[in-house]
Copies of this chain bind each other. A is one copy, B any other.
Amino acid sequence: MKKYCFGIDIGGTTVKCGLFETDGTLLEKWEIRTHSEDNGSRILPDVGETILAKMAEKNIDKSEVAGAGVGVPGPVHDNKVPYAVNLHWGPTDIAGILHKITGIPIKAGNDANVAALGEMWKGGAEGRKNVIVVTLGTGVGGGIIINGHVIEGAHGAGGEIGHAHVEDSITDVCGCGNSGCLEQVASATGIARLAREELAAKDPSEASVLENEKDLDARAVFNAYKAGDAVAARIVNKFAKYLGTTLSVFATVADPEVIVIGGGVSKAGDALTDIVSRYYKKNAFPACADTPIVLAQLGNDAGIYGAARLVLD
């Protein structure tokens, strides 16, 4: 067993980097800028350079390094991407390019899938091998882990659970081009949509603290819900019914040991997992009905943890 590995999480504005011991101890983390100009041609050389620089700084020899894992915002197959819109990339052989620069083994994965792996390794699903991770942020992402491995999928679309169709009545178009996706009702923006709809539909005589909210966002909705606001309760129940029921459908496919919810919306905490669990349990196949739904624990570091884990397989 080598002693060190790197976890690299490439985002549209910054690249998060972590130096780990192969037992999962994070020794140091840092960030570099993502230079997406010139079709993002500098991004991987910059990553390679920062890895080599860190090895030099710490007196780490190549022979001690298991490799570097890399998470990227795009579909990944065989350590390559066909494109990554946010990085301005066309077809890119991530492992080939980075290995040439660094001389260490490289693996690459989709960023949401890699973050899921991080939560499995050292986060909310530590010690488990069969996990569904849902990330509720601006959109809804996810990663499905079976026997310790993320489902990559035949088209790099494994775990694209934000685009599960859940509602026929939505006519707005989702980022993916369809309408009625989970993302449109369960992301931060989706919850804001449900809030606007509920406020518009409620009886004018019914008071709600949400009427006076300047930022009618997921946070405001959950705060009002926790304070006992009835309109907020209806919004949260709608959201939780969509998410909990859809998770119960996912469980008929993957039957995980645990379901982990992360992303900005998950800052609502136990109030969120409690109500989602209630709807999950109502519709889950009985053998899976007691599967725990827990909060993610690594926050923005899930990507570097998971990327590092990727290279240890």
Contacts and interface: CB of A to CB of B under 8 A. Distances in A.
A41 interface: no
Contacts of A105: none
A164 B249 contact: yes
Interface string A240-260: 000001101111111111000
Interface stretch (A17-25, A61-69, A283-291): A283-291
Interface residues of A, number: 45
A226 interface: no
A107 B180 CA distance: 42
Contacts of A154: 130, 255-257, 288, 291
A289 to B, nearest CB: 9
A252 B163 contact: yes
A250 B248 contact: no
A146 B253 CA distance: 11
Given A154-B256, A255-B158, A288-B157, A283 B130 contact: no
Interface string A190-219: 000000000000000000000000000000
Interface of A: 75, 130, 144, 146-147, 149, 151-166, 176-178, 180, 245-246, 248-257, 283-288, 291
